[in-house]
Amino acid sequence: MEIRVSLPLDSDGFLRRQCPHCNGLFKWHDGPANEEAENADDPTGYHCPLCGRPAEPDRWLTDQQVEYIEGVATPAIARYADDLLRNAFKGINSKHFKVKMTGHLDAPDEPAALVEPDDMMIVVSPCHSYEPVKVPEDADGPLHCLICGTPFAV
């Protein structure tokens, strides 16, 4: 089974992220921001703009996104299990032997879709200027390049 969850972007195409080390919130641009970014190699990890520490690309979900993904996945899994049970019972019905399944497994409702506000300010590192990030307005530098982790002042 496959569960698709889409996370919202702000109106500039930025996705909210949370650092697994310092829990700081920032945003990165979802998908290549321009041609130069498109031609660059996919990095094996990213650096937190706030603390500079690296982590793999899939480790940056915010608490809210984790909660949302679990909220979407749980009812989907419950529906899937319900279908499996129903099909299993169908198979053992025969003239001599009847099994009836009544009711459904309890599936919680899906959560309301996340909304991404247009907050934070765009900053660009001097070394990898094709990967802009957004950081909270009150972030006091130095900030770190998302791609290579080099500190820079804003």
Residues that bind Zn ion (CB under 5 A): 19, 21-22, 24, 48, 50-51, 125, 127-128, 145, 147-148, 150
We find the least distance from the C-beta atom of residue 123 to Zn ion, in angstroms, to be: 12
Tokens for 135, please give them.
């950081």
We find the least distance from the C-beta atom of residue 126 to Zn ion, in angstroms, to be: 8
Does residue 108 contact residue 74 with C-beta atoms inside 8 Å?
A: yes
Nearest CA to 61 among 25, 123, 114, 18? 18
Rank residues 44 and 102 by Cβ distance to Zn ion and give the closer one.
44
We find the least distance from the C-beta atom of residue 51 to Zn ion, in angstroms, to be: 3
Rank residues 22 and 88 by Cβ distance to Zn ion and give the closer one.
22
Rank residues 60 and 68 by Cβ distance to Zn ion and give the closer one.
60
Alpha-carbon span 107 to 101, nearest angstrom: 16
Rank residues 34 and 93 by Cβ distance to Zn ion and give the closer one.
34
We find the least distance from the C-beta atom of residue 143 to Zn ion, in angstroms, to be: 11
Buried b (16+ CB within 10 A) or exposed e, 43-74: eeebbbbbebebeeeeebbbeebeebbebbeb
